[in-house]
Structure 1
Amino acid sequence: MHLHRIALAVAIAFPVSLPIVVLAQGVATEAQLQSVQISSARAPLDPNLPSSTASRTAEQLREQTIYNPEDIAVNLPSTTIRKRYFGDRNANVGGRSYGTLQPGRALVYLDGYLISNFLGRFDAPRWNMVNVEAIERIDALYGPFSAIYPGNSIGTTLIVSERKPKGLEASASVKLNQQGFSEYGTSESLTSKQLSARIASRLDSGLWYSLGAQHQDSQGHPMGYANAVRGATAGAFAAPTASATRVSGILYDLDPQSRDRAIFGANSIDHSVQDTANLRLGYAISPTQEIEGRLSWWHDDSSVRASTYLRDALGNPVWGGVVTDGVRQFTLTPDAFAPSLRDEVHRQLGVTWKTKYAKGWNASVVATDYRIISDAARQANLAQPQADLGGAGSVTRRDGTGWNTFEVQTAYTPTEGDFGNGQHALVLGLHRNQYQLENVVNNASDWRSTETTQNQSYYGKTTITALYAQDAWKLHPDWMLTTGLRFENFESLDGSQYFAGPPVAQSSFPGRSLTALSPKLSLAWGATDDVVIKTSLGRGVRFPNVDELFNGTKTGSSITTSDPNLRPEVSDSLELSAEREWGKHWLRASLFRDDVTDTILRQTDATVTPTVTRVSNVDKVLTQGIELVWQSRDVGIQGLNLGGSATWTDATVTANAANPAQVGKQWLRIPPQRYTVQASYRPNAEWLFGASWRWASTMFNTELNIDNNPNTYGGTSSVNQLDLKAAWKFAKHWEWSAGINNVGNQPSWQGHTMPQRSVQTEVRYSLL
């Protein structure tokens, strides 16, 4: 890919007066929620945001089929949501300069409360706390250009807003989703269903409330397959012996590195039942003061099963042992088809106090506490069906794990006259967060119920305390200078590991304290009334999370080694952007550059048994790219709207003394090209038709880019997906909709197999 040629083409295609918006996002103050941007479709964030944004409103979200809350982000520019199956609890986010294996670079807020789970490799944002009925909009902020946000904003910051009631509101919906799935020896029709409801009201006393509940029963497709790879698995592809059991059903293909692979059956087939309850209460203390609280509760009951493809001479299923098809011989370990169970309860608390003066100084205080009340993941050592009767196993508990945040912020909003005369719009703040991980693995004589001795554990805490300031200075009616500085102090403490052995191993790690300064600078020029051009520079520091520092987990099939001395990721970013609105059209062009030092890489070596996952720093990774985003309203026909985005990216390792062979290789799980197109048509007040198309090129999943066969299980393939939806308001307050996701049933993989074609229907009642 030749980014320089693309940039030249963009420059030629655009007039000199291309635009950009002067935007920003605060945490809670009312001053941060006033929009003065060009397009009414853009984010209602702080008017002085020093970087690009993208948004989807509730009305726009109606144009697409939504089952899980994370679906609201799938059409945002330069964004990947790794939703592996319906009911997935670990839908990680990928962005411009990072992949879905780097969850620490995705900040997600729900009504100002942090729901990003920086506790583990696959711990995605807690989307489950979002009530689908209440979603008002989602906004995305790209890059570390605002001093208001923590260092995790070096990737993408997503802000989910739920609707506050203006009067009495009530709504409810029933969804039914049917996915046809076929891969290897599995061919199934999988059903998922969801019930959701919400009631809210604003009373004359100044009190308002919102109560929501959601229940979903989701059936996932296989997430993995028991397999053996030639040259990678001990004993694989050996000649048969007389003692081996003769079986049929072994399938063969090539793995992502084009090595011969044998497939024995499907595993990690998840059936989850989830319940969520949300209560929000607010009270207007006075016309200029408001307090708000939130309580959310989530419960998940999950069972994971397996399915063998192997049959003996009598047609009976074979789940383990030494097997042969007469040509090759394989040894299936007892846990190759082992089932598991998980039961977890999460709770979130949040409170906000803020003032809301139209001008002058405002203040806010935001506090939140997220806690895993109970979490028991029960894993059998034996395959089905023996494991269904009990037997040995293990139980992993994370009770007490969670995080809390506290933020105090004050913001000054000048009058329009003052601002025009060179006055400043200021934001000052204090932020603190603490993440605490408690992970214990116990042996179990009966994996379903009876725990015995402790097998291993790891603990740890991280704390970040930050002071920040940001100033938007209107130098001239056409010029805005935004400067910011964020000071952060990071501490890791109480880190420890324990393994029962043999041999017994126990480690305690000394605490560490690090500090970082992150300066920000942005200059915006209003070239015309409808055009803004902007240059933004920013540094962001992403400190390692608890899991990256202290996780030393080992199982029968995998080992994870972490590093308590990991260095933080330091991102120096640049964005040049231009934004313009003319008539019914809006367009933004951005050139971005992200130079990251000490990128934290977590890579799994699957060529050994058990597999080994290592966490380490990579010296330098440089990402450069171009992003185009556009929207058009009433295009040729009244009610026809179009929009979309295009992103070209080059992400390359430029230095790595620990592994020089990685230099020059492409970074993991970042597609060089990705495109989205959305269309909607509203011929009248009763009907809505929507369509969206997403395409992304193939990516690499190995640090040395040796995975040259991406279109298979375990690979990171291209994406080519078309979604369609139709909605009909057939009576007052009532709506029926039907949608088809992945109309062409185009297969794709991100390590796991992504959803195939699904059909969803929904009946919804709304008092609004």
Structure 2
Amino acid sequence: MGASMGASADTSAADAEASAIGKRVRDSEIVVTGTLESRELQKLKSPALGVSIDSEQIGAINTINTEDAIRYAPNLIVRKRYIGDANATLSFRNMHTTQTPRALVTVDGFLISDFLGASYSTAPKWAVLAPGDIARAEIIYGPTSARYSGNSLGGTLELVTREITENALRLNAQGFFQNYKYYDTDEDLYGYSLDAQADLKLDDRGGISFGYRHFENEGQPQQWRTVTPGTPYADQAIVDMGLGFPLRIAAQDAIADATEDQFRLRGNYDLGQGWTMRALAALLIDQDDTTNPKSFLRDESGAPTFIGISGITQGLSTSHELLTGLGLNGTISGWSVDLAASRFTLLKDRQRQSDPADVTTGIIPDSGKVTDDDAHWTALNATAERVLGIHSLSLGASYTGYYGNSETSATTAWRSMSDPVLQNASGGETELVGLFAEDALALTPEITATLGLRWEHWRAQNGFLLNGDDRVDYASRSDDAWSPKAALTWRPDAMTEFTASAAWATRFPTIGELYQASLISYGPNVGEVDLDGFNPDLTPEKGFDLQLTASRRIDNVKVTLSGYRQAVEDTLFSQSILIPSSDDPGTIVSQSLITNIGEVETWGIDLIVAAEDLILDGLDLDANLSWIDAKITENPLNPALVGNRFPRVPEWRANASLRYRVSDALDVAANVRHQNTPDRNIENNSSSRCGTYYCVSPFTFVDLKATTHLGAVDLSVGVDNLLDEKAFVFHPYPGRTVSIGLHWKGGL
């Protein structure tokens, strides 16, 4: 009996020590004190590299659209072509800007990632929030946690909204201006936004917020058009040799005139007995007008003319989008449970475009095309967490279902849509079911091992392609994937941490990659469906991610150094290959289409520095420097590409944000964004690295902001791209843009 009692006492002591270790692990994850600590992860979970952007950092940014909040985060880029761009895609580390299915983006746990395709048009739905809704942003690099689907292969971003703690009315007004000059383009462009929010506190049990924002902006022209040599006025063209061959620039596309009306509702409520509810609803009405292209050429009378100029069109687009989300969290039998359900619906999406101007007469015809898109997705997530001795367990399940359908019709009058005739259509559905288990095992007070496993079941169904009277239906497909994760964290003291992690992830194809063929852009069959331009038998891409991260806090400075290697087999990306022609299988043609590239390997290093009260009280710094080497290492379909750098991934990225609290009444900030020249195309040919229109160019943008606090009023003045640098991601980035903001907050 004595031996038995001794064993029991030893076990109790061990359990107590283990519980204490577990508590220290949990506390290191969630306790937030001071400025530097507020930049640690609080909502997202990962044993490897993750960063947060807090309200102080966001306040130093000229945030006009929601995606601006992450502008200076380490080793990522938002391809935002102009203010109000609905196609602002997000890329982490080694991602091309069209590899959108590798970026998992949520708002308060509700999915806003557009996994309907992988293109410039499948950006996250940023506009479900106004900039003033955001309290913080959290970012994980790579698929290091079993909690998140294979779509986290590049990284995960969660936007966290501002808590509702009081009765308040908030009014925000912004105005912005740029003068854009390039070639013969010289445009004064204006925009503004008006936002009103009412926050209502529901006793001591929660709150609800109503918001409405109206936004308008004139964005710089997104493309310039060339003239055919030998046509009557071609000698007036501006010749650009930046690509190594002449671009004879003769016209600009229309100014991108964007208008948005945004209705927002969000809230949280204490249901009692430890349960709380959160909700989010957003309705966006978006309209874009591109009806005023301009020619640089003049005829004999001095009037502008489009004679000889290719690709000149006019367009109008309208989109109505709705996101709804509901979440619950509480405790069941000692388990902390979180449930989230969300639904995104494309209520209406119609793009009307004229046929190109006649190169002989220069007249833009009334005929054109109308494209109607129908889409929705549903996301369900459930997680449960509990500490049992030295184990911090997490279990969960998820479901996402995507539906997309696109129809293009010809019309004799593109504005009024007279007599539309269906030309082509495509669409399909995908579903992804996931289960995960993860255990953060406190081996000692200093060492934690995190082990995770994720299983996913994917299904694609109802895929079809319609071209005129011909319809092809594709058989359903399904696949399964297991993705193990492992990490070892050593904290020798309270200021130092080392983490080594290994993670596998599988990213399955989207509807757009499988079924939505593109249209032919050039030649006699322009506008018709490219039957050779897609592959319904694509396999998923499989990534293996290794990271080694070290961080050290020295007084008021924290330094983080992270090295990583990621190898992705069967990378989904477009390349040119030789295939049989759809018209004549006996004829071999060169075709560019999304395929599986054998392997793309990336090596990289991220250096992140955060400092508060640096030299002077109130002087804070966030800076980061990234080196990326992404290359094709295997490619059976086109071995000539092996050794090439992956396109649109620069070798160097750097950001810095320097902020100074001059007094209680004045804050100032100076910020810098830089990347060097990435390769424009996968061929890495003679025109792959260039710095003109059509290229993906280097840039160094200097941004400034000053905010004065006058009681209930904040007045800010800022400028982005202070040096008016001309930079391109095929399309031009904005030039020097001046913004003025006025914020007022009062009681209700």
Q: TM-score, normalised by structure 1?
A: 0.87
Of 386, 389, 392, the residue aligned with 2:367 is 392
Match in the other structure for 2:253: 267
Match in the other structure for 1:532: 497
CA-to-aligned-CA distance 1:290-331 (integer Å, 9 cap, x gap): 12222110011111131111111111111134xxxxxxxxxx
Give 2:699's aligned amino acid: V
SS at match of 1:682: strand
**Alpha-carbon distance, 1:282 to partner:** 2.6
Contact 1:668–1:700 under 8 Å retained in 2: yes
Contact 1:382–1:391 under 8 Å retained in 2: no
Match in the other structure for 1:750: 729
**Alpha-carbon distance, 1:717 to partner:** 0.9
SS at match of 2:68: helix
Match in the other structure for 2:435: 467
Are 1:547 and 2:512 counterparts? yes
**Alpha-carbon distance, 1:218 to partner:** 0.9
Query: Quick one: distance in 1 between partners of 2:196 and 2:398?
Result: 34
SS at match of 1:476: coil
Give 2:670's aligned amino acid: A
CA-to-aligned-CA distance 1:214-245 (integer Å, 9 cap, x gap): 111011111111126xxxxxxx54xx4xxx53
Give 2:321's aligned amino acid: H
Give 1:531's aligned amino acid: T
**Alpha-carbon distance, 1:406 to partner:** 0.8
Query: Quick one: distance in 2 between partners of 1:340 and 1:521?
Result: 51
Match in the other structure for 2:690: 710
Unaligned stretches of 5+ in structure 1? 1-21, 229-235, 322-331, 606-610
| Distance of aligned partners of 1:43 and 1:199 in 2 relative to their CA distance in 1, 3 Å threshold | farther
Are 1:307 and 2:275 counterparts? no
Give 1:309's aligned amino acid: F
Contact 1:253–1:261 under 8 Å retained in 2: yes
Match in the other structure for 1:338: 313
Q: How does 1:15-94 map to 2 (within 5 A)?
A: 34-35=30-31, 39-45=36-42, 49-94=46-91
SS at match of 1:245: coil
Query: Quick one: distance in 1 between partners of 2:235 and 2:713?
Result: 53
Of 571, 576, 583, the residue aligned with 1:599 is 571
Unaligned stretches of 5+ in structure 2? 1-21, 578-589
Contact 2:242–2:691 under 8 Å retained in 1: no
CA-to-aligned-CA distance 1:343-380 (integer Å, 9 cap, x gap): 110001111111058x9311122111100001110011
Contact 1:133–1:172 under 8 Å retained in 2: no
CA-to-aligned-CA distance 1:417-458 (integer Å, 9 cap, x gap): x4xxxx211111110001111101112121012242211000
**Alpha-carbon distance, 1:192 to partner:** 1.1
Query: Quick one: distance in 2 between partners of 1:704 and 1:613?
Result: 12
**Alpha-carbon distance, 1:723 to partner:** 0.4
Match in the other structure for 1:8: none
Query: Quick one: distance in 1 between partners of 2:43 and 2:356?
Result: 55
Match in the other structure for 1:288: 274
| Distance of aligned partners of 1:283 and 1:451 in 2 relative to their CA distance in 1, 3 Å threshold | farther
Contact 1:31–1:46 under 8 Å retained in 2: no
Contact 2:669–2:706 under 8 Å retained in 1: yes
Match in the other structure for 1:577: 549
**Alpha-carbon distance, 1:64 to partner:** 1.4
Give 1:567's aligned amino acid: T
Match in the other structure for 2:207: 208
Contact 2:45–2:145 under 8 Å retained in 1: no
- Percent of aligned pairs with the same residue? 27
Contact 2:543–2:567 under 8 Å retained in 1: yes
Match in the other structure for 1:231: none
Give 2:30's aligned amino acid: Q
Are 1:759 and 2:734 counterparts? no
Aligned residues: 700
Contact 1:339–1:384 under 8 Å retained in 2: no
**Alpha-carbon distance, 1:727 to partner:** 0.6
SS at match of 2:366: coil
SS at match of 1:756: coil
Match in the other structure for 1:484: 452
**Alpha-carbon distance, 1:57 to partner:** 1.0
Match in the other structure for 2:540: 568
Query: Quick one: distance in 1 between partners of 2:30 and 2:612?
Result: 23
Match in the other structure for 1:723: 703
CA-to-aligned-CA distance 1:86-126 (integer Å, 9 cap, x gap): 11001111221212121111111111101011113121001
Query: Quick one: distance in 2 between partners of 1:637 and 1:269?
Result: 45
Contact 1:348–1:371 under 8 Å retained in 2: yes
| Distance of aligned partners of 1:31 and 1:277 in 2 relative to their CA distance in 1, 3 Å threshold | farther
| Distance of aligned partners of 1:581 and 1:339 in 2 relative to their CA distance in 1, 3 Å threshold | same
Of 412, 415, 418, the residue aligned with 1:448 is 415
| Distance of aligned partners of 1:548 and 1:138 in 2 relative to their CA distance in 1, 3 Å threshold | same
| Distance of aligned partners of 1:276 and 1:105 in 2 relative to their CA distance in 1, 3 Å threshold | same
Contact 2:206–2:268 under 8 Å retained in 1: yes
Contact 1:92–1:124 under 8 Å retained in 2: yes
Contact 1:302–1:341 under 8 Å retained in 2: yes
Give 1:347's aligned amino acid: L
Q: How does 1:393-472 map to 2 (within 5 A)?
A: 393-399=368-374, 401-413=375-387, 418=389, 423-449=390-416, 450-472=418-440
Query: Quick one: distance in 1 between partners of 2:357 and 2:519?
Result: 19
**Alpha-carbon distance, 1:283 to partner:** 2.1
Contact 2:221–2:255 under 8 Å retained in 1: yes
Contact 2:254–2:294 under 8 Å retained in 1: no
Query: Quick one: distance in 1 between partners of 2:516 and 2:29?
Result: 39
Contact 1:35–1:43 under 8 Å retained in 2: no
Contact 2:240–2:246 under 8 Å retained in 1: yes
Contact 1:533–1:577 under 8 Å retained in 2: yes
**Stretch deviating more after TM superposition (668-677 or 705-714):** 705-714
**Stretch deviating more after TM superposition (281-290 or 486-495):** 281-290
Which structure carries more relative contact order (alpha carbon 8 Å, separation 6+)? 1
Q: How does 1:239-250 map to 2 (within 5 A)?
A: 240=230, 244-246=231-233, 249-250=236-237
Query: Quick one: distance in 2 between partners of 1:621 and 1:90?
Result: 26
CA-to-aligned-CA distance 1:242-276 (integer Å, 9 cap, x gap): xx5346631111253x1222111111531010111
**Alpha-carbon distance, 1:35 to partner:** 4.3
Of 437, 462, 467, the residue aligned with 1:494 is 462
| Distance of aligned partners of 1:430 and 1:751 in 2 relative to their CA distance in 1, 3 Å threshold | same
Are 1:277 and 2:263 counterparts? yes
CA-to-aligned-CA distance 1:607-659 (integer Å, 9 cap, x gap): xxxx9751111101100011110111111111011120011111111010111
Query: Quick one: distance in 2 between partners of 1:517 and 1:84?
Result: 38
**Alpha-carbon distance, 1:199 to partner:** 1.5
Give 1:34's aligned amino acid: I
Query: Quick one: distance in 2 between partners of 1:194 and 1:248?
Result: 43
Query: Quick one: distance in 2 between partners of 1:96 and 1:132?
Result: 24
SS at match of 2:115: coil
SS at match of 1:544: coil
Match in the other structure for 1:225: 224
Query: Quick one: distance in 1 between partners of 2:599 and 2:453?
Result: 24
Query: Quick one: distance in 2 between partners of 1:384 and 1:660?
Result: 41
SS at match of 1:767: strand
Q: TM-score, normalised by structure 2?
A: 0.90
Give 2:370's aligned amino acid: V
Query: Quick one: distance in 2 between partners of 1:301 and 1:544?
Result: 30
Match in the other structure for 1:316: 303
Of 220, 240, 251, the residue aligned with 2:238 is 251
Contact 1:35–1:47 under 8 Å retained in 2: no
Query: Quick one: distance in 2 between partners of 1:320 and 1:212?
Result: 48
Give 1:340's aligned amino acid: G
Contact 1:668–1:702 under 8 Å retained in 2: yes
Of 97, 100, 106, the residue aligned with 1:100 is 97
Contact 1:147–1:520 under 8 Å retained in 2: yes
| Distance of aligned partners of 1:290 and 1:586 in 2 relative to their CA distance in 1, 3 Å threshold | same
**Alpha-carbon distance, 1:725 to partner:** 0.6
Give 1:549's aligned amino acid: L
**Stretch deviating more after TM superposition (58-67 or 583-592):** 58-67
**Alpha-carbon distance, 1:412 to partner:** 0.8
Query: Quick one: distance in 1 between partners of 2:622 and 2:263?
Result: 34
Match in the other structure for 1:520: 485
